[in-house]
Copies of this chain bind each other. A is one copy, B any other.
């Protein structure tokens, strides 16, 4: 039943490594508390110059629940064949904003009907790796 490789542990990423991984991706998931219950919504995002996560949303649950509330944001990559991968988790406060400062990659929503912009003001960022170090962190 356990013929596949069993990894014996995880390595932690530094905050700088986490931010570099966040800057190279554009798709993650926001976790909210709505009426006391947890919710997860996939979003596409950009990392702003001030380390905040920016995404667009339609008017609805996501919008109401992110107004000045603590949220969590997660990005990951897994290679199922080798059972390895990495994940980065941001904790922060969400705010509605009018203007995006702009970061290494501009925010470019996948869906057209997302008029509202939300910023997650990063309070902490942590990350973990199972298996090899992410290739995005090589070089420089």
Contact = CB atoms under 8 A, between A and B. Distances in A.
B31 A108 contact: no
B80 A26 contact: yes
A99 interface: no
A76 interface: yes
A130 interface: yes
Interface string A52-95: 00000000000000000011111010101001010101010000
B36 A4 contact: no
Q: Is the interface of A mostly helix, strand, loop or mixed?
A: strand
A38 B70 contact: yes
Given A106-B1, A113-B9, A38 B42 contact: no
Nearest to A109: B6
A101 interface: no
A55 to B, nearest CB: 14
Contacts of A36: 33
